[in-house]
Amino acid sequence: MPDPARPVDPEIRAERAHLAAAREALRRMREDVLTTRTAVGDAVVDKYTNAVLRRSRALRAEHLADLPDVPLFFGRLDFPPGTVHEDAPGTEEPGTDVAPGPRPDDAVHIGRRNVHDAAGTTMVIDWRAPIAGAFYRASPREPMGVRRRRRYGFDGARLTAYEDEPLAAAGPAADGRPISGLLAAEIERPRSGPMRDIVATIQPDQDDLVRAPLDRVVCVQGAPGTGKTAVGLHRVAYLLYMERERLGRAGAVVIGPNRAFLDYIRNVLPALGELGVAHTTIDDLLGRVEVRRAEEPDAARIKGDARMAEVIRRDLWSRLRPPAETLVVRTGARRWRLYPDELAALADEVRGRGVPYGAGRGLFAGRVARALLARMEEAGWPCDDRTLTALGRDRDVRAAVAEVWPACDPARLVLGLLTDPGRLARAADGVLDPGEQAALALPGRQRTAAAARWSDADLALIDEAAGLIERPAALGHVVVDEAQDLSPMQCRAIGRRLGPASATVLGDLAQATHPAAVPDWPALLHHLGAPDAAHTELVRGYRVPEQIIGFAARLLKEIAPTLREPEAVRSAPGSLRVTAAGDGGLRAAAVRACTEALAGEGAVGLIAADGDIADLHGAVTGAGVGASLLGADDGAMGAQRLVCVPASLAKGLEFDAVVVAEPARIAGSGPRGAHRLYIALTRAVSTLHVVHAAPLPEPLR
């Protein structure tokens, strides 16, 4: 608590005054927007225009709303006088009435949005503006013209501290420098509920990725807690600020591994002023049918394999049939004929154009109608504008088109392929061996595509078929988080939606748990359609203290031997505890560990194998401790301080304190169990308490 008797530092007083003035200026900007009269025109003609203007005005006002708990600025850059403000005091013509003395530096306050006063003078600059880049990147070695960087400390929205860093003098390189006190405090600030933004403390290596240009695929391998998710979300906000026009209506989409994760990150972009970005899972993005079951690992591997694309392609185009009958169209007493070889030639010509199946069907139908029209004209039959349309609608013409080039529904196509072994054998000949083909069969009796028991792996197959029939609409920019778990077929599905290649792909191969996951980043980029893109690495871990990451990293030799050891920016002696519970004592030990963790501040996660978590949740709540269960309770991450997390949903989440119960059970839960355990052990910001009754997995002993 600040001592009320102590006089306030004049710098702090001045900064508080600037903050108050900026708030007032923002209030005025919003009022200006709200009181601007909407164009009033002809009541009918302008109804639409007026509605659009009203909506855009409401949106602009929404963007300018002041959030009482969020400081309007978090940093400041001081440049030599005259660098930024041309009309700064001291630049007046000689003879004007100015106080003598040296001119102060040009100060630029960096915040979440642009704020200007009534005269149009900037009071706060949006963190995404080019000049603000120096706030994140300038270093003593490369000061970028900045004399001094200032960071502020806040208590709620009240400015209470500042930290200055002179940059003008050459000093040590940026790498390896200790982190600032305010950054450490920001990381360690207790969590409650969903993830928050890191706009005040983005680090130089992260900023390079955030501000990468729109027209490229940025791919990042990063150890747990290096800020990949944060980088991806801030990059979207940056691109929307810099390239709003080019991103246009297609907009940006964030793809995450599951709904619990999306719920966890849902507030970050709105807090950065971006309200219109879609967040989706890959299943929802591809969701043409309902997923009703989890896929068997063997089938998942084959269905996720890029060879399936060839199988589906062959099967789709094998729907084309050689024409068997002459098409006869009657007009009055006359009959017009197209013979099978003529129909076949038209189909071949369209096929040779390489257009999607659906567009090809439309072209073929048009060709058939035109060929008949030509025949009529040659015979001197009276034709006009409507004749061609009438031919296109003719029942016999439509029947002939359907016979040669049948309409195709992607889900029905895949259903046919996966339920008819003979058909699959033809399409997969030389591509999949008989054992692989047998593993693909859909279980049970599947009558219709709508009622079939589809899996998530089937979605990518159906999407592949759909993409061959009709190209999907392009997205402006795609952020794919936890991308290490995508199968090649899912990568293809995302790649199909990239208009000009523009994507941010984030992940950690050590955290890959899906049986069909791509083996490495070059493979992923290849399937995404960006084979020339390179991947970069983030190595400085912000979340997990060195004591905990060191413990978890013992698993790396087994799960990802080629990756670099993660580095921690923070050290926290005593942050790791391992407790051996006696036989039958696991539940009691877990409850005790949770109670102890709850005595500290912030959010607590209890992570256990999927099969054990409901029981442990029962044990905790039975002991009178409030806890939500992730995956079962809505909004579980914010509902209680203690959240019980099945290991399969822990990916991407974090808690101040984590209790991991029975690591051996997590490691033993399927072929990627050790990866799942690595994820569970790397969710803690402050403390990790491992409780176990069974022996720990070998590398952790």
Ligand X SMILES: Nc1ncnc2c1ncn2[C@@H]1O[C@H](COP(=O)(O)OP(=O)(O)OP(=O)(O)O)[C@@H](O)[C@H]1O
Smallest gap from Cβ 47 to ligand X, in A, equals 46
Do the beta carbons of residue 689 and residue 657 sit within 8 Å? yes
Smallest gap from Cβ 267 to ligand X, in A, equals 12
Q: Which is nearer to ligand X, 283 or 508 (CB)?
A: 508
Phi, psi of 371 (to 5 degrees): -65, -40
Do the beta carbons of residue 328 and residue 336 sit within 8 Å? yes
Smallest gap from Cβ 203 to ligand X, in A, equals 4
Cα dist from 319 to 58, 279, 360, 563, 671, whole Å: 52, 36, 13, 46, 39
- Cα gap 598→606, rounded to integer Å: 11
Q: Which is nearer to ligand X, 162 or 317 (CB)?
A: 162
Smallest gap from Cβ 491 to ligand X, in A, equals 19
Q: Is 651 annotated as a binding residue?
A: no
Smallest gap from Cβ 190 to ligand X, in A, equals 11
Q: Is 668 annotated as a binding residue?
A: no
Q: Which is nearer to ligand X, 202 or 591 (CB)?
A: 202
Q: Which is nearer to ligand X, 203 or 686 (CB)?
A: 203
Task: Say which DSSP state 475 is in.
Answer: B
Q: Is 225 annotated as a binding residue?
A: yes
Task: Pick left, alpha or beta for residue 662 (phi over 0 → left; psi -120 to 50 → alpha; otherwise beta).
Answer: left
Q: Which is nearer to ligand X, 149 or 228 (CB)?
A: 228
Q: Is 226 annotated as a binding residue?
A: yes
Q: Is 223 annotated as a binding residue?
A: yes
Q: Is 227 annotated as a binding residue?
A: yes
Q: Which is nearer to ligand X, 222 or 515 (CB)?
A: 222
Smallest gap from Cβ 480 to ligand X, in A, equals 12
Q: Which is nearer to ligand X, 123 or 653 (CB)?
A: 653
Q: Which residues bind ligand X (CB under 6 A)?
A: 183, 186-187, 198, 201-203, 206, 222, 224-230, 508, 542-543, 652, 654, 682
Do the beta carbons of residue 201 and residue 182 sit within 8 Å? yes
E-state strands within 553-701: 567-568, 576-580, 604-608, 628-629, 642-646, 655-661, 684-692
Gyration radius (Cα) of the chain, Å: 31
Smallest gap from Cβ 300 to ligand X, in A, equals 22
Tally of residues, the chain: 701
Helices (H), 90-170: 133-137
Smallest gap from Cβ 542 to ligand X, in A, equals 4
Cα dist from 601 to 186, 267, 619, whole Å: 14, 21, 22
In three-state form (DSSP H/G/I as H, E/B as E, the rest C), the secondary structure along 349-372 is: HHHCCCCCHHHHHHHHHHHHHHHH
**Owner of token pair 């199968």:** 487
Tell me the angle at which helices 421-428 and 307-317 cross, rounded to the nearest 10 degrees: 110
Do the beta carbons of residue 613 and residue 650 sit within 8 Å? no
Give the residue from 608, 615, 613 showing the smallest Cα distance to 665: 608
**Owner of token pair 């912000």:** 542
In sequence order, the 6+-apart residues with CB closer than 8 A to the CB of 695 are: 664, 701
For ligand X, the nearest residue by Cβ is 227
Smallest gap from Cβ 652 to ligand X, in A, equals 4
Q: Which is nearer to ligand X, 224 or 467 (CB)?
A: 224
Residues placed in the known binding site = 222-229
Residues placed in the known binding site for ATP = 222-229
